[in-house]
Amino acid sequence: FSIVASKESTLDERKLAQKISRGETDFTGVLDSELDIGDEIALQPGPRTLDYKGEYLPVTDMVYFASGDGIVPVIDQVKSVLPPGSSSVKGVSVIWTNDDEKDFDIALSTLEDEYFKYSTKLAVSCVVDEGKRSLEDNNEVDEAVPPFTPGTMAVVSGPRATEARGVLLRKGYPDNCICILPNED
């Protein structure tokens, strides 16, 4: 999933491809320093599928563990599994960590909308973690992650995906039940 933001009014495809290849897609940095209310951004979604290697089928529960702007591809995934009849998933948990409470502003209203539509199927936990300690040492994170049960698939996303994976492993999630969404930073 690539995020490109530009102040330029038009951006041809060649320039856009160059920006992506150079890694000039720092969405959080752009939000903090360059975007004003009313500015437009272009989103280029990546593949919409996950490579699940777990042995527990069908997948009945999803746990999404996102840090920072890793919530953007997670929201797309959540929207695809929540509607009735769209998948075998019966329950979805989203754990979203950020260094600062204001960082939740980028997607909190979208998550709230999904929660109000599917409150019996969706649980959302937003955890402020200043990044000064490991996610594994954060009690709020530990409480937010549900215990593993067969049929659960976990997805980690964002700049602290490796740490999030470690939390899940410590909570008993088998490694082959954890998918990592690539971080395009």
Identify the residue whose tokens are 């039940």.
177
Q: pLDDT at position 56, please?
A: 82
Q: Are 179 and 52 in contact (CB under 8 A)?
A: yes
By the 10 Å C-beta count (0-12 exposed, 13-18 middle, 19+ buried), 123 is classed as: middle
pTM of the model: 0.72
CA geometry: angle 84, 87, 89, nearest 5 deg:
85
| Per-residue pLDDT tens digits for 114-135 | 999 998 999 999 998 876 678 8
Edge-to-edge strands of the sheet including 178-180?
Answer: 122-128, 91-98, 61-67, 152-157, 178-180
Long-range pairs for 18-24: beta carbons < 8 A, 24 or more residues apart: 20/44, 20/184, 23/184, 23/185
Least confidently predicted of 39-48, 68-77, 127-136: 39-48
